[in-house]
Each structure stands twice: as structure tokens, then as C-alpha cells.
Chains A and B, each alone.
Chain A
């Protein structure tokens, strides 16, 4: 009966994952390998294709006037600089949306909403960037990443070429993702791993750690069983997945550093209020 309960939990989290996240790993890998009936993604590999593809990027928060400013005869470098900033803002918009998706997913983890509300906030605040990095991995390969719900493929070289510190944000995530993708987790495994990350009892400032650890322990058992059944030939997969949590903490530290640098150097940039809440006093 206990194993049955753990299987029910795995199924529940997988269903919630499918319900809350618009682009699954299965779909992303199909797009990346060209095995989908949908149109191939629009490829952004330089400033010209970014300018052309900008209309496809999910940017519903940008006011129209701002978009029109590009045609006002600015010199080339200013145009480019504005294009980069606009692109960065649309990334922020999508990230804020993803934060709300992750929050809904967290709320669906059995027992999560019964935790102290302040602890729920702390778990989301400290786990969010880690979760988003894991969710980004299936969209990436060594050459680039899908964005805008899989409609656009942006090359790694192009992202790297953006002016500092924009060009530095993604490179460590690519390095991580290429290795993480080698574990070949599927969407059902990912759902469990995300729940494990969210339920980390060692986040700074938690008021009541015990109930969080109890919940995490249960999801860990469920993940261990699920990985054994889902990947019978992959040795030590459970341990290998858990080891990735150490890399995630380093990635977050780097991310915070770059964002800090951006705050200092990019006077025109204002961070989305929800992302500000998450980044503020984070380590």
C-alpha cells in the first residue's frame, strides 16, 4: 500500500505539471529534433533576425509607443542597445509568468498550502530560480534554446554576443543543461524533481522546518521509486539527479551576481516587480 501511495503522488504531480506548464519536455524535444507537425521555430542568430523576430516574442507588456521608438532615426548602436533592452524586458515578462505557473504547481503539492504562509513564500523565493533553470533545460541544446513557448530558437552564440552583462547570463545555464539533459529525465520525472527542489528545508529564514522535511521525504521516496520503474537500466539515477541540486545553488549565486551588475550598469533597466521580490536580499 505504501508503494501505491507513492505512485499516486508521482501521478498527481505529473498531472499538475502538465496542467500548469505550457511547454513540456516532450514537445520541446520534438521541436528541437524537427519531429513535429508544427512549423519549425523562427531562428534568431543575429541582430537582424532579432529585429525581424521581435514580433513573435511574447511581449504583451511592452507599450506600443516604446516599440515605435526604433523608427525615430537613432544611430545604429542605439538601435541595437534598445533592441537588447526590449528583448530583455520580454524575457522578464515571460519569467514573471513562469513564476506564477511554478507557484500554482507548488500549491498543488500535497501539504504545501497547509505550511505556514511565510514559509510558503520563503520556499518559493529561494527555490524559484533553481526551478526555472531546471525547467529551461529541456528547451536547450548545446547550440541554443527555445523561447516564446517553442516558437523561437535563439542561438547560444548570439546570446553570448549580447553586450555585457546580458551575454553572460545564459552561458552557465547552457553548460548545466547540456549535462543535465544527459540524464534523460522525462516530464514525469521532472515533476517530482521540481517538487523536491521546492520543498527544501534548508532555505534561510524558514520558521517551521519539520513539516517541510516530512513533505520532501515523501516526494523523495516517490521519486526514487518512480525513477527505478521509469528508468530500470539507468544506474544510480536517483543519486545523480540529487547531485544536480548542488550545481543549482552555484548557478543561482552566479545569476544573482549578474543581475546585481545589471542593476548597477543598466540605468534604463527596471526589473519586473515580481522578479524584484524574488531577487531582493536573495543570498
Chain B
């Protein structure tokens, strides 16, 4: 899970994060 932290976050957030 740690290896794909950002992907996990993107999948679980309802909107795309602005910090990209």
C-alpha cells in the first residue's frame, strides 16, 4: 500500500487533488 500512496489517495478522494 505504501508503494502506491498517491494512487491510493487519488482513488479514495472524491475530487482530483490540487497538489499535483
**A residues near B, CB below 8 A?**
93, 96-97, 99-101, 103-104, 107, 113, 117-118, 120-121, 124-125, 273-274, 277-278, 280
CB-CB under 8 A from B20, the residues of chain A are 93, 96-97, 100, 274
Q: How many A-B residue pairs have CB under 8 A?
A: 42
A277 and B7 form a contact (CB under 8 A): yes
Interface of A is mostly: helix
**How far, in Å, is B16 (CB) from chain A's closest CB?**
4
Give the distance in Å from the alpha carbon of A242 to the alpha carbon of B10 in the complex. 28
Give the distance in Å from the alpha carbon of A103 to the alpha carbon of B16 in the complex. 9
Interface of B is mostly: helix
B3 and A100 form a contact (CB under 8 A): no
Question: Told that A118-B1, A277-B6, A277-B7 touch, could you supply 19 new A-B pairs with CB distance under 8 A?
Answer: A93-B20, A97-B20, A100-B17, A101-B16, A103-B7, A103-B10, A103-B16, A107-B11, A113-B11, A117-B12, A120-B11, A121-B7, A121-B11, A124-B7, A273-B6, A274-B6, A277-B3, A277-B5, A278-B7
Give the distance in Å from the alpha carbon of A103 to the alpha carbon of B11 in the complex. 7
Contact status of A100 and B16, CB under 8 A, knowing A277-B3, A280-B3: yes
